[in-house]
Structure 1
Amino acid sequence: MTTAGARSHQPDSEAVARIGLSGGGLEAEILSFGAAIRALHFAGQPVVLSLDGVDDYVAGRTYFGAVAGRFANRIAGGRFILDGTPYRLPCNEAGRTHLHGGLRGFSHRNWQVRSVGPASVTLAYDAADGEEGYPGAMAVSCTYAIAGEGMLNITLTATCDRPTIVNLATHSYFNLDGGGTIVDHRLEIPADRYLPVDGDKIPTGEQAAVAGTPFDFRSPRPIGDFPYDHAFVLPAAAEGDIRPVARLTGPRSGITLEVASTEPALQFYDGHMLDVGQYGSRAGLCLEPQRFPDAPNHADFPSAVLRPGDVYRQVTQYRFRRSG
């Protein structure tokens, strides 16, 4: 494990740790800042977008590779009611919506390195009661572990001391060809329904059928240039069970990524608004297993409430392979 010294804009006093993992044909660099995947290579090929240095992650608002929370995705108007008590969160997206946990969500905090080995690392962050407007102190952990050939497991857990809400998501931008755009990548998502959104990208409450729409990825097909930033409703699974939620193939590299997860939804963002450093529109895409966006404001969505004595646990698995 190596550490990069903090500069004056570093919001936490500790230096940012950089942890290298390798095995199973994978090489990864993990940052303690945001518990982020800074770099990931499979068989020598970069498969995620990477910013140049630690300072780019600390100073930026890109969420590259980070763990988003306390509530990933959006909450309408930064408002929700829990057990009869209203809460207000900062509206850090156009002054209208609460996005990815607020002004300094988990993605922009320096996590502690709890344990590290050649093929795994566990990071932890303790969020204070009232941080970004959320009720309750929360203890969060993230473990990255190379678990076999081309396989990276991500385990996220959280506990709290007061009733609160939680939705964690990993926010890597994938490009399996190592360059160009992702419009010709072939994507499969085994979802019959998706969540339509309004002009603020907040779910309307409808769970619409994908059949006959641009959201039908039940059979693999090229992504194209339709602007995607939507949650797909995944087939139901027993609590804690991991099942396939997406498959992505790079046409030039022949590399396929299979994503499996415990979560009820998958946010697919095609990067059409991406404009960071050397990366332009659709240079990469996000596949984010998570709970439903704006879940606290929709009684018929799966609950995002966490109570004392319960444990939030998400397991997501990336498995890479090369055809031929």
Structure 2
Amino acid sequence: MKHTIKNSHISLVTFNYGATIQQLIVKDKNGNDINVVLGFETEEDYKNNPFYIGASIGRYAGRISQGGFSLNGTDYKLHQENGVHLHGGRNGLNKKNWKLEKAETEGESPFVTYAVTSPDLEEGYPGTLKVSVTYRLTGNSLKITYEATTDKTTVINLTNHAYFNLEGRNSILNHELELNSEVFVELDDKLLPTGDFLPVKGTSYDFLSPEVIGAKPGFSGIDDVFVLKGQDPAATLYSPETGIEMKVSTNQRATVVFTPEDLGTTEFLNGTRYGNFSSICFEAQTFPDAPNKPDFPSAVLEPGETYRNETVLQFNVR
């Protein structure tokens, strides 16, 4: 089922399947409407969505090694492919029909809230997990809030997997990117964390000052975990063509930045076609494989606690 909320600045269209963002429409410098996210035509199209486009990801976003993890002396086995458990498994939260919990479509701060329950040991994870996501428009910003509670000690890492393109077509190679991150997580050839952290200085991951993505020396695509300095914005994306600027703020410790080179020949909403490096993702979250890395910040959620992931996307023109 499709739901639309809008104010005088932004229009957001979501599906309850996967609590998915289909469209996010903002004005460019000429007052034209631009859909700044990649989306498919129908909700049915999202049931074959290997790139998780627009979806809510969990129970654990990112990768977990070793086919599972141990928690309080108990081993929990997870689905793995080539030694990697990805984005919550075969049937993660992105493949669930979330329930529309409440919505308010009028006024300057409309919102829609979806909720879903993941039973104990679903996909191997302990605890009955109750999850909600609220998409709220306030002025020229979209705030995405994930909350979760559990009845057993568990691990959790939720995020949204929207793919952004501030021109609504072509690629993001001429977008400017700034990342408020001095350190990134070293990954092995399976994109699993080694446990080490490396400085961005002097590497193709140094976006401490705004740089045109496609002109960055050594750029060959990004699929990496950036440690955030805790100062907002975490990231700023800007399209000189449309004049649209997006600032990303979050309460999370890290963001995965992903620039897919090729999403295949998929046709998107309204027949839109994109080139290579069509889009960029900012997957705000904690560190991947934290359940197997005792030196990483804990991803454990205890009964009585509330997990909360808040990310704000603010749009301006310049």
> TM over 0.5: same fold?
yes
Work out the CA distance in 2 between the residues paired with 1:280 and 1:86.
Answer: 44
2:47 is paired with a residue whose SS is: helix
1:209 alignment partner AA: P
Which of 280, 285, 293 is equivalent to 1:290? Answer: 285
Could you tell me how far apart the structure 1 residues matched to 2:104 and 2:306 are?
25
1:111 aligns to 2:95 (yes or no):
no
- Deviating runs (4+, > 6 A) in structure 1? none
Alignment of 1:44-83 (within 5 A): 44-83=33-72
Give matches, 1:17-56, under 5 Å.
17-43=1-27, 44-56=33-45
Q: Over residues 123-163 of structure 1, what are the superposed CA-to-partner deviations in whole Å (9 max), with x where a residue is unaligned?
A: 00000001001011100000001011x21011110000000
* Ranges in structure 2 where 5+ consecutive residues have no aligned partner: 28-32, 268-273
Q: Partner amino acid for 2:226? A: F
Structure 1 residue 200 and structure 2 residue 190: aligned? yes
How do residues 81-160 of structure 1 correspond to structure 2 at under 5 angstroms? 81-91=70-80, 94-118=81-105, 119-148=110-139, 150-160=140-150
Which amino acid is 2:190 matched to? D
Note if 1:230 corresponds to 2:224: yes
Structure 2 counterpart of 1:265, from 251, 254, 262 = 254
Following TM superposition, by how much is the alpha carbon of 1:305 offset from its aligned partner in structure 2, in angstroms?
Answer: 0.3
SS at 1:216 equivalent? coil
Percent identical pairs in the alignment equals 39
Deviates more, 1:269-278 or 1:256-265: 269-278
State the match for 1:171 in structure 2: 161
Distance in 2 (CA, whole Å) between partners of 1:34 and 1:78 is 24
Contact 1:62 1:276 in 2 (8 A): no
Residue identity in the other structure for 2:125: Y
8 Å CA contact retained: 2:129, 2:151: yes
Q: What is the TM-score of this pair, normalised by structure 2? A: 0.91
Higher RCO structure (Cα 8 Å, ≥6 apart): 2
Distance (Å, rounded) in 2 between the aligned partners of 1:158 and 1:309 = 10
The AA in structure 1 aligned to 2:155 is: I
1:281 maps to 2:265: no
Q: Report SS of the residue matched to 1:196.
A: strand
Paired letter, 1:232? F
Give the match's secondary structure for 2:220.
coil
The aligned residue for residue 312 of structure 2 is 317
The secondary structure found in structure 1 opposite 2:294 is: coil
Distance 1:211 1:141 in 2: 38
User: Do 2:262 and 2:278's aligned partners in 1 also have CA atoms closer than 8 Å?
Assistant: no
Q: Please provide the CA RMSD for this pair.
A: 1.3
